[in-house]
A and B are shown apart, each in its own frame.
Chain A
Amino acid sequence: MAFEIIESCVNCYACEPLCPNQAIYAASPHFMIAEEKCTECIGDHIDAQCVSICPIEGAILDEMGVALNAPGSLTGIPPELLAKIDQQGTAAVL
C-alpha cells in the first residue's frame, strides 16, 4: 500500500512536510515516496496529504498506476483540451 511520485513532479516541496509518516523525500530528478513508509495516510487523515496539496495533475499515482489527481481536476481545463495541447502544443488553443 503506497503511492508513487513520478517525473511530472515540479519539486515544489509542498507535500514533503505534510506526510504523517515522513515518507516523502527530496531526490533527483524529483521527489520520491518511500514505499515502505507510506500508509496512504490511512488512520491519520481522511484525505491523503500529498495528493491533497500537489498542484500537478498526474504527478502522484496510486498502487495501480492511476493518477490520483486526474487531468483537468486541479486546473479546471477540460481534459479534451489538455489532451489536444499535449499532442499539438499550445497552438491547439490559439
Chain B
Amino acid sequence: MELPVLNASQDSAPQGGCASHSCGSTDDQMDHLPESIRQKIYNHPCYSEQAHHYFARMHVAVAPACNIQCNYCNRKYDCANESRPGVVSEVMSPEQAVKKVMAVAATIPQMTVLGIAGPGDPLANPERTFQTFRELSEKAPDIKLCVSTNGLTLPDCVDELAKHNIDHVTITINCVDPDVGAKIYPWIFWKNQRLRGREAAEILIAQQQKGLEMLTARGILVKVNSVMIPGVNDEHLAEVSRVVKAKGAFLHNVMPLIAEAEHGTYYGVMGQRGPTHEELQKLQDACAGDMNMMRHCRQCRADAVGLLGEDRGQEFTMDKIEAMEIDYEAAMVKRAEVHAQIERELAIKEQAKTAKAELIAIQGLKSDKSATRPVLMAVATKGGGVINEHFGHASEFLIYEASPEGVRFIGHRKTTPYCEGGDTCGDGESALDQTLRILKGCEVVLCSKVGYEPWQPLEAAGIAPNGEHAMEPIEEAVAAVYEEMRSAGKLVEATETAQKAA
C-alpha cells in the first residue's frame, strides 16, 4: 500500500494527502477508504499491506463447534474458511488461550492482533470465545481482537461483540442467492433443528446480511471472505462483492477453493476443482472495480504464531508456556516502544517511496505510458519488505505486477520449499515442478540467491531467475527490473497472458 508522508504524530495513520490518485504505485487498497477506517487498519498485519511485513498476528483454537456444514470442509479438521484444510489444531480452553496469548505478546512485541477463527465457528461457541476476549481486553488491552464467523448466529452476538471492543469481524459470505447457497451448504443447525437445502441457505444468507448490517451500523469493521468455487459461485461473486460493499464491508477477500480428495471433503471427493491462479486473479480484478480487495491473505493456519508467513508455534507449546513467568505490565512498556520504532521505520520508508515515485513519475516509467505491457514477477521474502529469501527456501512467493502504471501487489502463491521437497512430494510432482507450476505467468523471480540446479528449468519455463536485487526493497527492485526489461526492448509486444493480467 501507499501511505503518504507521516506527520508529527507517531501512533496514528497518516492523514489525507495524495487522495486524488495513487501516487506512483497502484497497490494501495486503502486510498478510497474513509479516514476512520484507515486509522483502524493502519497497523493490522492482515489488512495493511505495508504493516504485514512488520507486525504479527496469532490465532487461538478455542472454538471447536460449528453450526453449519460447508462442502469444502471436513469437520475432522479446522474450519476451512480461515485456515488451510487438512490441519487439526489442538483445542485450548479459554484459560490456556489467554495464557498463551500473553506469553506470545510478551515475547514477540510485534504481535498486535489476536484472532479466534476456529477450529469451528467462534460464534457457535459463544461462551468460550467471549470468555477469551473478556479476559484479554482486561489483561492485555494493547492487543487488538478479531473474530471470524460463518454468520449464522452473528446477529445475536453483535451486542456482546460491541461490549468487548472487538476491532473487526470477518464473515465468510459465499453467496447472496439461496440457489447458489444450496450447492455450498448441505445443512445448518437452526432453532433446534437440522435444516437442509435452499431453506437452510436462505436463513444463513439472511443472518449473514443482517449481521453485516448490524456491525457496520455500530461502526465495527467488517471484512468479507469468499471462497471461489468454479462453476458454483465464481460468476456470482461479483454480485456478492457489490452487495457487501453497499452494506459497508471494508474489504472483500476472495480465496481459492482448496479441494483435494485426501481432505475427505464433499468437494474433494466429488472432484470439484479449485480455480487456477489466472481465474482467481481475474475475479479479484473484476471485484476490485467494485471495492477494495485483499490480495495478501495467506490463508494462514488458525494457530500460527509469528510474523505472517512465519510459524513460531513450536516455541509456545502449552508446557513451555506453563513454565513462563509473564510480567505483562513490563511487557506492555516494551511493546509500546517496539511499535513506535516500527512506525518510525514505516514512515521513513514511505517518505523514501513517495520521493522515489515522484522521481519515476517525472523521468521514467510514466513518460511513455501504455507503450509497454505489464509483467508479473515473483518475489521470495522472509518479511521486512525486502528481497531476502533464497529461492530454494521459499515456501511462498509474493506476486507483483509491474506496468507503466507502477508496481502493484497481486497475491501470494504457496509451494513446497525446493530444498525441503526431496525428489518428489508424494504424487510424483517434484518440489521444483510444483514451484514452476505456481509461478506460471511470472516472467521473473526475484530472490536473494538462486542455486545452479533450478536455474535451467526456470529459464526453460520462461521465468528469469534474478538474484541481483538481494536485500533491496521489493517494489523498487521490481520497478528496476521492469525498467531493465523495457530498455532491453522486451516489453513492446503485448502477449496474451500479460493482457489477462492487466
The 8 Å CB contact of B262, one of A11, A52, A90, is: A90
Considering only CB atoms, which chain A residue lies closest to B271 in the complex? A93
A75 to chain B, nearest CB (A): 5
Whether the Cβ atoms of A93 and B269 lie closer than 8 Å is yes
For B192, list chain A residues within 8 Å (CB): 18, 45-47, 49, 52
Given that A52-B194, A75-B266, A93-B261 are known contacts, is A11 also in contact with B91, CB under 8 Å in the complex?
Answer: yes
Closest approach, in angstroms, between the C-beta of B84 and any C-beta of chain A?
17
- Which residues on the B side are within 8 Å of A18 (C-beta)? 192
Kindly identify, within residues 63 to 87 of chain A, every residue whose CB is under 8 Å from any CB belonging to chain B.
74-77, 81, 85
A27 within 8 A of B: no
- Is the CB of B441 closer than 8 A to any CB of chain A? no
Determine if A75 and B261 form an interchain contact, defined as CB atoms under 8 angstroms apart. Answer: no
The verdict on B274 contacting chain A, using a C-beta distance below 8 Å, is no
A11 to B66 alpha-carbon distance, docked (Å): 12
A90 to chain B, nearest CB (A): 4
Residues of B48-96 contacting chain A, CB below 8 A: 64-67, 69, 71, 75-76, 91
Interface size on B, residues (CB 8 A): 29
Asked if residues A14 and B67 are in contact (CB atoms below 8 Å), the reply is yes
- Residue on A with the closest CB to B189? A53
Residues of A near B91 (CB, < 8 A) are: 11
Task: Determine if A52 and B125 form an interchain contact, defined as CB atoms under 8 angstroms apart.
Answer: no
User: Chain A contact residues (Cβ within 8 angstroms of B): what range?
Assistant: 20 to 34
Known contacts A47-B194, A52-B192; decide if A14 and B186 are in contact (CB<8 Å).
no
Known: A53-B189, A93-B261. Is A77-B266 also a contact (CB below 8 A)?
Answer: yes
- Whether the pair B186, A74 counts as a contact (CB closer than 8 A) is yes
Among candidates B75, B124, B262, residue contacting A10 with C-beta atoms closer than 8 Å: B75
- Measured CB to CB, the closest approach of chain A to B264, in angstroms, equals 7
In angstroms, Cα B264 to Cα A56, docked, is 12
- Return chain B residues, CB-CB under 8 Å to A1: none
> Would A77 and B120 be within 8 Å (CB), given that A11-B64, A46-B193, A53-B67 are in contact?
no
Complex CA–CA separation, A47 to B190 (angstroms): 12
Bound complex: CA of A75 vs CA of B268, how far in Å?
11
Q: With A81-B269, A93-B261 as given contacts, are A13 and B125 in contact (CB-CB < 8 Å)?
A: yes
Taken together as a complex, chains A and B put the C-alpha atoms of A10 and B91 apart, in Å, by 11
Chain B nearest CB, measured from A41 CB (Å): 9
The answer to whether B186 and A52 have CB atoms under 8 Å apart is: no
* CB closest chain-A residue, reference B263: A90
- Shortest C-beta distance, A26 to chain B (Å), equals 10
CA distance A85 to B269 in the complex (A): 9
Q: Which residue of B lies closest to A20 (CB)?
A: B192
Measured CA separation A76–B75 after assembly (Å)? 14
Let me know if B42 is at the binding interface, CB within 8 A.
no
> Nearest chain A CB to B237's CB is how many angstroms away?
22
B187 at the interface (CB under 8 A from A): yes
Kindly state the separation between the CA atoms of A54 and B66 in the bound complex, as whole angstroms.
9
CA distance in complex: A56, B124 (Å): 17
Residues of B within 8 A of A74 (CB): 69, 186-187
* Contact between A12 and B269, CB atoms less than 8 A apart: no
Q: Given A47-B193, A53-B194, A77-B269, check contact A10 B76 (CB 8 Å).
A: yes
Alpha-carbon separation in the docked complex, A56 to B74 (Å): 9
Nearest residue (CB) in A for B126 is A17
Interface string of A36-47 (1 = CB under 8 A from B): 000000000111
Instruction: Specify the chain A residue showing the minimal Cβ separation from B75.
Output: A55
Which residues of A are in contact with B by a Cβ distance under 8 Å?
10-14, 17-18, 45-47, 49, 52-53, 55-56, 74-77, 81, 85, 90, 93-94
Would you mind naming 14 contact pairs between A and B with Cβ atoms under 8 Å apart?
A: A11-B91, A14-B64, A14-B124, A14-B189, A17-B127, A46-B193, A47-B193, A53-B67, A55-B75, A75-B266, A76-B186, A77-B269, A93-B269, A93-B270
Chain B residues in the interface with A (C-beta under 8 A): 64-67, 69, 71, 75-76, 91, 120, 124-125, 127-128, 186-187, 189, 192-194, 261-262, 264-266, 268-271
